[in-house]
Structure formats: structure tokens, C-alpha cells
Amino acid sequence: MSVFHRGELAAQQRAGVLDAAAHVSQMINDVLPTAARLFLAEQPALVVGATDRRGDVWATMLTGEPGFITVTGPSTIEVAATPGPGDPLHDVLGGPARVGMISVEHGTRRRIRMNGDAWPVPGGLRIDLEQVYANCPKYIQKRAPRREAVTPGAPWTGDQLTDGDMASVSTADTFFVATADADGNADASHRGGNPGFVQVLSPTRLRWPDYAGNAMFNTFGNLEVNPRAGLLLPDWATGTLLHLTGTGVVDWDPDHAAAVPGAQRLVDFTVSGVTRVDGASPLRWSTAEMSRFNPPALTH
């Protein structure tokens, strides 16, 4: 039986990578390998995606001192952190939730993805994992973190990007995208490129290129069956977290992709909700060293 659902298989078939996807599917486990256990113990951040009660998908970042992610069983981790009161996933993770997670070690460009069921426990979360797998290091910008004592600002919410938000998005080199399948099983993934790789078309419309990846098409597969998605754009210098929710549509037209350097496809995202929390993260990151795999960004 395939580890991929019908949406993922449909996206793989459309992209012509069914054989490659079947091969890389062997990477997907339901237990944590030793290397993954050691990796998680060293990380100061974890990106989590989930669906709220209205069906909107959001992504957020949990942080702590290295060791705040603890492996407690072959397929279980505990996270000693929860979203703050203004976070769009605060209430969601206050109860049982299907979650997708990704942890990225930006200094080494390594990352691991995990999906499963989250349960609230005192001081954090317990997650029973169903899928665990590593991804390649492409498009990850190299940067190092340090911590500052911070007090998060009050959350700002709206239904479209402000001028300041648009300026931040248009110069971003990294964001995280959360999606979910028709049954609510969530996934969280990383997207990176040179500053400007995300196009801001209007206060409610974004577009970005899809570069060559791992052939699994987890994000696109979810969008095949459920167009709702959430984006998280961290401000690496200030700790501000910009959370967006909306819908994503994959543009499979090769002529459209040909107009964007390195693109194999394009993704159009329509914003329906925005939450911005200034200083939400205590992590401050060094100036980025861009990945050598990044194609040139589209100039305007």
C-alpha cells in the first residue's frame, strides 16, 4: 500500500515523477531513527501546522532552549512549548489536533519532517508520530540563532496584508507552508529562494515558484484535495512572526513557469486572514548565507 494519499499520487502523476516518488517513499518511517533523535535534541525551534475549527490552516513556530524537543518513545516526542495567546494555533493546540511539523537546522541546512497527533500535556505537547522523514538541504539559507529576552507584542489581525507586510514578504528568502488533506492530516514544509522569490501581486495575492524538490509532492497533493493553506514568514532579525491563511492553487502551465527562473510550476496564494505578532520569537538570527541552489529571483 502506498504511503501517499490520492491527492499526492495525482500530483506526482501530473508531474511525471511516480517512479521517483515510489523510490523516495522508502525514506518515510513511523519511528524516529537515532540520527533524528540526536538532531531534534539540538534544535531551538519547531514549525507546526494545523487546521482550526473553521477549517483554516495555519503555521506557527515554537521555540525553546535546545532539548525542549524530547524523544519519549520510538514514535513519540514531547515539546516543552505552546503557542502564545495571540497565536492563531493557541486554541487549536489546547486540545487534540492533527499536526504537521518541520525542524530546520539552518546552520547545517538539515531538516526533518514529522506528522501525527498532538495532545496537550502540562507545559507543552505530546505528539504521537505517524510519519518521519528527512528532506534534502536545497534552498535553505544558512544562518545562526541567538536568544534574547523578549515580551511579544499584541497580535494584529486582518484580512489582507498591510504595506509593511507586503514589503517584508517581497524581500523574504524563506517561508513555511502548512497544508492538510481531505481528512485533516496536516503537513508542514519549507520554501526558500533568493529575496524576491515570492511575488506580492496585491494585498491578498501572492505567487511563488516551485523549484525541483524531492518528488513527494506532499504540499501539492494536499492542495489537490483541500486548497486551504497557511504560511509562516519569520522576521529573522526581529522575531516577528507573520501568519497567513488562505487558499493555494498550483499553476501547472509550463509556459507560465518558463517566465520565472528555475520554476517548474507556480503557486498562487489568496490571503483570507493575517495575524502578525511582533517579537513573538526570542530567536535572533545572523545574516543569511544564500543557498547555492537558489535560482535567480524574478526581477520586477
Mean pLDDT of the chain: 96
pLDDT, tens digit, 9 for 90 and up, residues 71-121 = 999 999 999 999 999 999 999 999 999 999 999 999 999 999 999 999 999
Give the C-alpha separation, 234 to 232, whole Å: 6
Q: What is the pLDDT of residue 135?
A: 85
Residue 248: C-alpha distances to residues 56, 85, 121, 222 (Å): 12, 27, 33, 10
Please tell me whether the overall predicted TM-score, pTM, comes out greater than 0.95 for this model: yes
pLDDT, tens digit, 9 for 90 and up, residues 41-58 = 999 999 999 999 999 999
Q: What is the pLDDT of residue 299?
A: 64
Of the listed ranges 24-33, 90-99, 100-109, 175-184, the least confidently predicted one is 24-33
Please say if the pLDDT value at position 136 is more than 80. yes
CATH architecture entry for 6-285: Roll (2.30)
Mean predicted confidence (pLDDT) in 244-248 = 98
Please say if the pLDDT value at position 300 is more than 90. no
Task: Please provide the DSSP assignment of 37-69 as one string.
Answer: HHHHHT-SEEEEEEE-TTS-EEEEEEE-STTSE
Please say if the pLDDT value at position 298 is more than 80. no
Q: What is the pLDDT of residue 195?
A: 97
Mean predicted confidence (pLDDT) in 146-170 = 96
Mean predicted confidence (pLDDT) in 246-257 = 97
Inter-residue contact 142 to 109 (CB < 8 Å): yes
Q: What is the pLDDT of residue 132?
A: 96
Mean predicted confidence (pLDDT) in 257-272 = 97
pLDDT, tens digit, 9 for 90 and up, residues 215-239 = 999 999 999 999 999 999 999 999 9
Task: Name the band, by pLDDT with cuts 50, 70 and 90, for residue 62.
Answer: very high
CB-based burial label for 154 (10 Å; 0-12, 13-18, 19+): exposed
Mean predicted confidence (pLDDT) in 207-213 = 96
Q: What is the pLDDT of residue 28?
A: 93
Q: Residue 148 carries which side chain, given as an amino acid letter?
A: E
Q: Residue holding cell 486554541?
A: 91
Smallest CA-to-CA distance from 222 within 3, 4, 42 is with 4
